[in-house]
Structure 1
């Protein structure tokens, strides 16, 4: 083990380039700027520097390299409110904090924080005066928003009526009996044959690609309806699978995120260029980790398999500092000091890493 650590240390010493901030990361921006998809990962969802540096790198990729949208490890409905805000929709709020109030799902600090608010305000200014098709978007591609996405679909289709609305109502009625309790749905679907898979597949088919024929003013909202339906389908599969297989439920989630990103790429056209914000475990390549031994895949692997060299990954890590986190899923947030270990030793030897501060809630 010691010899292996020494090998890694010497490789870092020989190959590593000190990172002193996005403003001076010209070589990194040039390399990343050649890709169609740049994934920027972080080692925690609650450390200020990760969020701030990721935002600064993203600004450079947008301004200097023409990247068209950001897709984050967040729920589609909440992120779509922020997307409308950065594109100048007054109904989404007058300041970023207004739009961020929609992030009510735990952990709220993951996206409702000052770093994201500052970036959203910058992006709104950047988009100001641009044609709608040239504005940079901000989307969520996760799948936890089962109920919220159903609500958004019903709201959207309620203004249109027709067969699509009937399909949405059938899906909603199927889920409604479970009282918006995901675990209850998973148990009922697995053990009592009360699943809603057929209904959500039918709904997605109804809404798929409707944005292609929508009038210009409704085009992105039609996309939102499709992505909400995709989130419902992914969530149904995830909560049904989670009861039986932890590893496979992970795969369901990452396959969903990759599929959602592909649809966003299709929407933005052949020259689309995307920036992904997610945890390192999603943007790395599972094939190079022990995840592969468990039969697990991740977004980074799936995108590399589909796009090869068009994908570029950047990961953030640290060996000390503080982070906002909860002791368990759904627990209240608190600030915890980072732990020590092998990364601490290697990090200190390779270069003086910055101390991680906790992300500040908006």
Structure 2
């Protein structure tokens, strides 16, 4: 069997499997692979590469226009993304230019969403939606768990306006968190002394909003009621996440990814049986954890959970990778973003093998759901680069890679030999307090 260092047998097999990437129509083999799938999860090997965002947007456009996908769900905060949802669906009173909403995103790292590639796509999406009736417009939603205080404030505002009898429950939760000055690290550390933290207050708040949402379910539920319920679910998920974070281990990662898939499931139920969803997240969330060393560490992720819960409805996982280039990232958590050089991928990696086979080229790879040939290059364990919002190029010798069986981790893979940094909307970003446990910044 050929080795994993770019030997002739491997590179010849790679070239046979490759579909050249030249423009939107070169995605045809991937559209054929997707078929009637209801869930398409599209990854990225970094949070700061323009081409990953660009190709992800091209694929998403085609899924919307040609396959009737009507929901985009991303690795972003529910409250911020809900404002963007109002803008791209042309909701009365919402910002007419999505760039205004993206420019107001406040959580570090803002460049993940506040960048020129997302502006370009969301402007297109608003224009596309304007030609459709309101009930058929494509939504944009955040799945992540970090927005504890923002979601709690949103719940309070909603209850004051629509259900004043439940304001006391929300205020009890708010007062429990208030001593921690909206600092999640302070709250997480405090739960070492008082392990239950604000759990009971949050459970009481959540129970009331779930009950109200269930009463509205017969009508599919007004959008504002569903948003309030989801904000309460985010408060509950964030409270669990921060308590687990200080204990270390895989629990906080698992809480976060389970929360993201639970949120997606609620959205799909709310929007109805005809809804088809595109997910935008990092490869480390999208690619099935069972095909990496994450499983040995006791971690699950979004891609794994989607396959376990929704395989019968059709799930396609799409990964990205590149050999070298530049990337936007920060040297430490909370520091301003900078353009960094991403050196050539190390030997023994997916990216090095593909570069050896396709020097200077870009390609699409797809394979069938029942798996690849056992002797194929994509069934070998290869390192696969993963760059988060914090990046230290000097760590390439020992870090920044995830051992991966590519043909089991994804259903398709887009390889770009050289990539460039994306362009943030903000030059400066203030720091935040939600550093991930492992893998850091993904």
112-121 or 211-220, larger mean C-alpha shift: 211-220
CA distance in 2, matches of 1:104, 1:214: 33
Residue 161 of structure 2 is matched in structure 1 by 159
Residue 23 of structure 2 is matched in structure 1 by 21
CA separation of 1:65/1:209 partners in 2, compared to 1, >3 Å: closer, same or farther?
farther
Which structure shows the higher strand fraction? 2
CA separation of 1:194/1:313 partners in 2, compared to 1, >3 Å: closer, same or farther?
closer
CA distance in 1, matches of 2:307, 2:116: 32
SS of the equivalent of 1:318 reads strand
Runs (4+) of structure 1 moved beyond 6 Å?
214-218
Give the one of 409, 418, 421 matched to 1:355: 418
Give the one of 140, 143, 148 matched to 2:142: 140
Q: Deviations over 1:213-267 (max 9, x none)?
A: 2798971111111111111111111110000023211111111111111111111
Q: How does 1:86-235 map to 2 (within 5 A)?
A: 86-193=88-195, 195-208=197-210, 210-211=212-213, 213=216, 219-235=222-238
Q: Deviations over 1:2-43 (max 9, x none)?
A: 823447545423423233333321121132242110000000
CA distance in 1, matches of 2:82, 2:175: 25
Residue 281 of structure 1 is matched in structure 2 by 284
How much does 1:62 deviate? 0.4
SS of the equivalent of 1:317 reads strand
Give the one of 323, 326, 332 matched to 1:328: 332
Number of equivalent positions: 362
CA distance in 1, matches of 2:14, 2:202: 48
How much does 1:164 deviate? 2.7
How much does 1:88 deviate? 0.6
Give the one of 77, 80, 91 matched to 1:78: 80
SS of the equivalent of 2:43 reads strand
Partners of 2:20 and 2:26 within 8 A in 1:
no
Superposition CA RMSD, Å:
2.1
TM-score (norm 1): 0.94
1-10 or 81-90, larger mean C-alpha shift: 1-10
* Unaligned stretches of 5+ residues in structure 2: 362-415, 426-442
CA separation of 1:261/1:48 partners in 2, compared to 1, >3 Å: closer, same or farther?
same
TM-score (norm 2): 0.78
CA separation of 1:218/1:3 partners in 2, compared to 1, >3 Å: closer, same or farther?
closer
Q: Deviations over 1:102-160 (max 9, x none)?
A: 31111110001111111111111111142322110000000111111111111111112
Q: Deviations over 1:337-356 (max 9, x none)?
A: 11221344312223213421
Matched, 1:264 2:264: no
CA distance in 1, matches of 2:280, 2:143: 10
CA distance in 2, matches of 1:84, 1:216: 20
Q: Deviations over 1:72-129 (max 9, x none)?
A: 0000011001000001135331212111123111111000111111111111111114
Give the one of 315, 318, 321 matched to 2:322: 318
Residue 61 of structure 2 is matched in structure 1 by 59
* Unaligned stretches of 5+ residues in structure 1: none
How much does 1:314 deviate? 0.8
How much does 1:167 deviate? 1.6
Q: How does 1:242-257 map to 2 (within 5 A)?
A: 242-257=245-260
CA separation of 1:348/1:284 partners in 2, compared to 1, >3 Å: closer, same or farther?
same
Matched, 1:345 2:352: yes
CA distance in 1, matches of 2:268, 2:147: 21
CA distance in 2, matches of 1:301, 1:322: 30
Partners of 2:74 and 2:142 within 8 A in 1:
yes
CA distance in 2, matches of 1:67, 1:150: 31
Residue 412 of structure 2 is matched in structure 1 by none
Partners of 1:142 and 1:257 within 8 A in 2:
yes
CA separation of 1:238/1:9 partners in 2, compared to 1, >3 Å: closer, same or farther?
farther
CA distance in 2, matches of 1:209, 1:46: 41
